[in-house]
Amino acid sequence: MKVKMILPALTEAKSPLFRPIKYSLFPPLGLCTLAAYLSPDDEVSVTDEHVEELKLDDHPDLVVIQAYITSAFRSYKIADHYRRNGSYVVMGGLHVTSLPEEALEHADTIILGPAGDAWPRFLSDFRARRAEKKYVSTIRTLEGKPPIRRDLIKRERYLCPNSIVVSRGCPHRCDFCYKEAFYAGGKSFYTQLVDEALAEIDKLPGKHIYFLDDHLLGNERFANALFDGMVGMGRVFQGASTVQALLKPGLLEKAARAGMRSVFVGFETLDPHNLNEHDKKQNLNRDYSEAIRRVHSCGVMVNGSFVFGMDNDDENVFDRTVEWAVQNSIETATFHIMTPYPSTELYKRMLADNRILHSNWDLYDTRHVVYKPEKICAAALERGYWRAYKDFYSWACMLRSAAQKDDLHAQLRHISYAGGWKKFEPIWDLLIRTRQVTRMLPMLETVLAAYGRFHSQKDAGKTTNHRIAPASS
């Protein structure tokens, strides 16, 4: 059987003029995971349209398409094309799970939620020519899954080819997150067996690893055991955590010893009313600044994520947020305009209040306003969003932010890391076009590894324990 797996490009990633590095970071792990369930006789290819051209002149038996909201229309076009030409099309992913009826107009079969046991069931039915229209996973586990088909990853096209997922879902329930709807009907947070995760990590070449888990520190027992097992492996890694988990005594320190060098943190908003409104309870009454101090003291950099346009936000939110991020010496930040994704609680609420402006999914990219904001007009919200990026990554702000750190080495590291992402975009663009992105990986590893090494040396020179006083958790 000939199987073609496709990750269609997000609309915002398709510009022929400019390709930001963020679309060439991670390979399509989900599709390579599904490929592992095919039989050795099957001929399979994986095409990631963010980094390569999609050729449409072939005739596979089975086409598998993973759709996100801003790639939905593109995905449907591709699906329609292949169905017209006689291929069987199966679709899955976040957007398909959000709007199954919409997807079913373009696919022969859809898979809802994490593919889990639904995908092998579909495959077996498809081979027996009795495939159904819809499959939903009922068994939620990562235990004993076949090894991901990493041989299908075109490593040279990604900055972080060693991306890995050791858990699925998240223990929290923020109302703007896809997670609740995506994992409906079963467990919404589960992990690999520690030994299996460590064995997978051990097989990855090189030094750098990017954990794509929604919340790597979400299961404390698992995270502790994972980091224990990683000590001595000589890895440097990046991953995501909540503020709450970063404030837990001991866990962050262990992550840093295992090689954590940067952490993505969803601060979302500095306003407790907004946190309450969106059920981001895990951030409520947490000392954000203390969490950042702890992270920095462990030699780990912070990538903070912020959302603009929540109901208590006014026109001051942009300057206030950027200034706070600079004062707290956050190395990198991502800003988003609040986006009510279909099927989330936020979307349902806004729909009921007649606040959703349209269903042009291409514009649900967190850069456009797709709902009626409360205390700020849509145009000001979009302007403020762009200004926040411009200001945060201005040399003046980067230098001021770096200067908050107490030693020259950390200051230089801050500037080279933040500047590397945002000030050298034309170089990234060239590397992406010439398919040489992975050549920058050693530089990334050097920056990340050196940061941790410096902190280890500093720690070794201290007479007192370097533990940070724990905050409330």
Q: Is 179 in the site for ligand SF4 (CB under 6 A)?
A: yes
Which member of 14, 22, 173, 336 binds ligand SF4 (CB under 6 A)? 173
Question: Could you tell me which stretch among 10-18, 157-165, 170-178, 199-207 binds ligand SF4 (CB under 6 A)?
Answer: 170-178
What residues does 268 pair with on adjacent strands?
Answer: 306
Of 43-51, 70-78, 153-161, 168-176, which segment contacts ligand SF4 by CB under 6 A? 168-176
Pairing assessment for the beta strands 167-169 and 189-191 based on DSSP bridges: antiparallel
How far is residue 350 from each of residues 60, 308, 339, 341, measured CA to CA in Å?
41, 16, 11, 10
> What does the buried/exposed string (b/e) look like for 207-224 if buried means 16 or more CB atoms within 10 Å of the residue's CB?
bbbbbbbbbbbbbeebbb
Give 105's contacts (C-beta < 8 A, 6+ positions apart). 76
Q: Does position 214 bind ligand SF4 by CB under 6 A?
A: yes
**Using CB under 6 A, which of the segments 174-182, 310-318, 343-351, 373-381 binds ligand SF4?**
174-182
Distance CA 291, CA 265 (A): 10
Number of neighbouring beta carbons within 10 Å of residue 455: 20
In Å, what is the CA distance from 127 to each residue of 88, 123, 132, 211, 357? Answer: 12, 6, 12, 34, 43
| Residue 174 touches ligand SF4, criterion: CB under 6 A | yes
Least distance between ligand SF4 and beta carbon 178 (Å): 7
Looking at the DSSP bridge assignments, the partners of residue 4 are 45, 63
| Window contacting ligand SF4 (CB under 6 A); options: 166-174, 196-204, 389-397, 445-453 | 166-174
Residue 95, CA distances (Å) to 76, 288, 311, 314, 393 in order: 11, 32, 25, 30, 31
CB of 210 vs ligand SF4, minimal distance in Å: 16
Tell the smallest beta-carbon distance from residue 184 to ligand SF4 (Å). Answer: 13
Is residue 278 part of the contact set for ligand SF4 (CB under 6 A)? no
242 makes contact with ligand SF4 (CB under 6 A): yes
Return d(Cα 140, Cα 188) in angstroms, integer.
8
Q: Which of 208, 215 has the CB closer to ligand SF4?
A: 215
Task: Look up residue 390 and give its two tokens.
Answer: 């411009």
Nearer to ligand SF4, 172 or 261 (CB): 172
- Does position 177 interact with ligand SF4 (CB under 6 A)? The reply is yes
Question: If binding means CB under 6 A, how many residues of this protein chain bind ligand SF4?
Answer: 10
Q: In angstroms, rounded to a whole number, what is the distance separating the alpha carbons of residues 364 and 386?
A: 16
Contacting range for ligand SF4; rule: CB under 6 A; set: 135-143, 165-173, 373-381, 444-452: 165-173
Report the residue number, 78 or 307, with the smaller CB distance to ligand SF4: 307
Q: Does 338 bind ligand SF4 (CB under 6 A)?
A: no
Q: Shortest approach of ligand SF4 to residue 9 CB, angstroms? A: 24
Q: Which of residues 254-273 bind ligand SF4 (CB under 6 A)?
A: 266
Q: How many angstroms separate the Cα of 288 from the Cα of each of 163, 328, 387?
A: 27, 9, 23
CB of 244 to ligand SF4, least distance (A): 9
* Least distance to ligand SF4, CB of residue 324, Å: 20
Per CB under 6 A, does 172 bind ligand SF4?
yes
Spatial CA neighbour of 65 closest among 148, 3, 127? 3
Which stretches of the chain bind ligand SF4, using CB under 6 A? 170, 172-174, 177, 179, 214-215, 242, 266
